[in-house]
Amino acid sequence: MAQTSATGDGGLGCLATTQVIMSMIAGPVRTVCMDNDMDVSLAFSHSELQTLRQCEDFANALLKITSDLRKGADTSEKLPLPPFPKADLLKMMTLDTKPDKTLRGEELHAYLNSKIVSADAKPDEITLPPQNININKMKMKDVLPGLKKGYLTLQKISAKTLHFCLNYGAWLNTAFKVYKIYKARGLVKDSWAKWLRINVGVSDSYARKLRELSTEFINYKTIHNLSIPFSELWNRRLEISHMLNTHPDIAKYWLGV
């Protein structure tokens, strides 16, 4: 197969690099059809556009490195590579054939209410089952107490994790405000994403989600007690915000007042 070299405008080279990245990903591909005069940004959400920008940054950086390697040039200054949001890109590309039932309003409130576990409670240790028991003589009812207690512990840990995520998002929001002041004064040269990656090790995409959820829900005390994955809160954030903004009584409940 003929090799594609980097061009001045990065056109063919970027295409080759993109093909390398695409070879890392499997699954049915999402296709977006648009009229010629349609703004491409209208076909994607803000978070999806952010994912595309990060992929482009990664592809361009990889293209420069492969080009320099072909020339025998030093590439150490180009490390580390920008983050490559593979999971987010895969989610955009893969066709989801599963039916998605979007919960709204009181139905969403009832669902979330069923997921509440006190985040203040200290999770108990999940101990191993007794090793000297006779399995042949055990009954199903004998294992139920251990199963129920262990599941409650897992729920408490999940609620605690969400609580920590919201609080950590507040730290990130505070840090971003300080960063903007430093940036305006010329005291820091790196971008916010690069500063985070080098000094903290967290990706900008993950930090952005933490910051957005914290900004939206930090003051809703009862949301801190939800035993749901962070990803679920992120995926339901728009419906939850709409519920809180359009149902004052429900909002009071989640505020904990």
Which pLDDT value is given to residue 53?
Answer: 86
- For 237, residues 6+ apart whose C-beta sits below 8 A from its C-beta are 212, 213, 216, 217
Which SS3 state, helix, strand or coil, does residue 200 take?
A: coil
Which pLDDT value is given to residue 34?
Answer: 45
Which is nearest to 175 in space by CA: 202, 139, 155? 202
pLDDT, one tens digit per residue, over 80-128 is 788 888 888 887 776 444 445 788 999 999 999 999 987 555 667 787 7
Which pLDDT value is given to residue 19?
Answer: 54
- For 102, residues 6+ apart whose C-beta sits below 8 A from its C-beta are 239
- For 178, residues 6+ apart whose C-beta sits below 8 A from its C-beta are none
Phi-psi bin for 35: left (phi > 0), alpha (psi -120 to 50), beta?
beta
Which pLDDT value is given to residue 149?
Answer: 83
User: Distance between CA 156 and CA 43 in Å, rounded?
Assistant: 39
User: Distance between CA 55 and CA 92 in Å, rounded?
Assistant: 12
Which is nearest to 158 in space by CA: 236, 227, 232, 234? 227
Which pLDDT value is given to residue 83?
Answer: 86
Which pLDDT value is given to residue 18?
Answer: 52
How far the first Cα of the chain sits from its last, in Å, is 68
User: Distance between CA 21 and CA 1 in Å, rounded?
Assistant: 18
Q: Say which amino acid occupies 31.
A: T
| Total-model pTM | 0.57
User: Distance between CA 66 and CA 64 in Å, rounded?
Assistant: 6
Which pLDDT value is given to residue 214?
Answer: 95
Regions of the chain with pLDDT less than 50: 1-14, 25-29, 31-42, 95-99
Which SS3 state, helix, strand or coil, does residue 215 take?
A: helix
Which pLDDT value is given to residue 220?
Answer: 96
